[in-house]
Every structure is written in structure tokens, then in C-alpha cells.
Amino acid sequence: MANTIIMEHPLIKHKIGMIRRREVGSKDFRQMIREISMLMCYEATRNLPLADIEIETPICRTTVQEIRGKKLAVVPILRAGLGMVDGMLEMIPAAKVGHIGMFRDETTHEPHEYYFKMPQDIEQRDIFVVDPMLATGGSAVAAINMIKKRGAQKITFMCIIAAPEGLEVLRKAHPDVDIYIGALDEKLNEDKYIVPGLGDAGDRIFGTK
């Protein structure tokens, strides 16, 4: 079984506390999602392998460490996952980006795919699937199914807020996927929104409601 890691860093907790507030508008919401994504990226890349290399400083030759030839990809689940991409790329600028378009039916809450485009060599890359919200888990499970079908071996899922129900579903469906969570909330309500949550992440990022 892979790891589930819930963020403990005070900066992340503080910023998540801010984006939950009803009165925070799109501009600030987007900015904080970006900052939280950067901080979570720092945690989620903690185990990337390093290699020793020899370099020359202005003073002498020395050995330093650099990330060992890892090919990475960030895959947002549209729309809300897009809000996490810039923060991730700020930390790992050489990563490629794939996109999965997915929306949740308002009545059945089932995910529907409408777009799928991956980097050509996706099967050679370590993939970070990003989506601010893990509610029922349907969207994350479906997205990871699609990426695995394309041959991806190493997948990490990152979300800012998760419901226990969705976490269980995702862990059961994909026990090999490491999961990084900003905050684990209490439950889902009858409309399958996360409680206390932050509302509809896509609408809050893009100002569509």
C-alpha cells in the first residue's frame, strides 16, 4: 500500500484556512491555491532521487547533488486542477503537462470525461495528478484509470481538501498511488460537497458563480 500524507506545515494550514472563507474572491483564491500548490509540491517531491556531480565553484571543485534525470509530468483534472499547475511548475519547471477534462454530473455525481491529452512519453514519467478537491473520489479514480491505461507506472495524487469517503475510494481503487492531502475534512453532504470544504473549487477559481 502506498502512502497517504496529510500536510502539517503551518503555512499550508494557514492558507487553507483563508481559502475556506466565503468572502475570499477569485483573485485571492487563485493566488492562495497557487501558493499552497508550491508548498505541497515541496513535500510531494521529497523523495526524488539525487545523484552526486562534480562542479566548479569560483573557489574550487566540489561535489554537489542534483535530481537524478527524473522525467516528471503534472496532470491537472480540469477545470479546478488548472489552478494548481502554475505553483507546481514554479517548483519543477522542466515537468511536462498533460490535461484531463472531467466534470461531475450534478444529479448522479458521476464523473464524465471530455478531454484527454498527455505528453507522448507519459509512460516514462513520474506523474503528479492534481485537483484541489477529492470528494466522492470518482473523478480522481477515473483520471488515474485513464493515465494507467496509457502505461504510466508511478503516479502521485495531490489535492488540497479531501473527504474521508473519497480518500477511501481512491485508496481502494489505486493502492499503489501516493496521496498528498492539504486537509482531510469531516464528510460529504447530501449534494456530495465536502463539509466544511470551500464550496465549488472550479467556480471559485474562475469566478463562474
Catalytic residue IDs: 104, 108, 200, 203
Cis peptide before 68 (omega within 30 of 0): no
Binding segment (CB under 6 A) for ligand PRP, from list 19-27, 43-51, 66-74, 196-204: 196-204
What residues make contact with ligand URA under the rule CB under 6 A? 80, 133, 135, 193-194, 197, 200-202
Q: Are strands 133-134 and 194-195 parallel, antiparallel or unpaired?
A: unpaired
Contact between 91 and 41 under an 8 Å Cβ cutoff? The reply is yes
Q: Which of 15, 30, 34, 104 binds ligand PRP (CB under 6 A)?
A: 104
Residue 201 contacts ligand PRP per CB under 6 A: yes
Q: Which does 137 bind (CB under 5 to 8 A by kind): ligand URA, ligand PRP, none?
A: ligand PRP
Contact between 100 and 113 under an 8 Å Cβ cutoff? The reply is yes
What is the C-alpha to C-alpha distance for residues 20 and 29, in angstroms, rounded to an integer? 9
- Residue 134 to residues 70, 124, 130, 150, Cα–Cα distance (Å): 27, 26, 10, 22
Residue 84 contacts ligand PRP per CB under 6 A: no
Residue 192 contacts ligand PRP per CB under 6 A: yes
Binding segment (CB under 6 A) for ligand PRP, from list 12-20, 84-92, 172-180, 199-207: 199-207
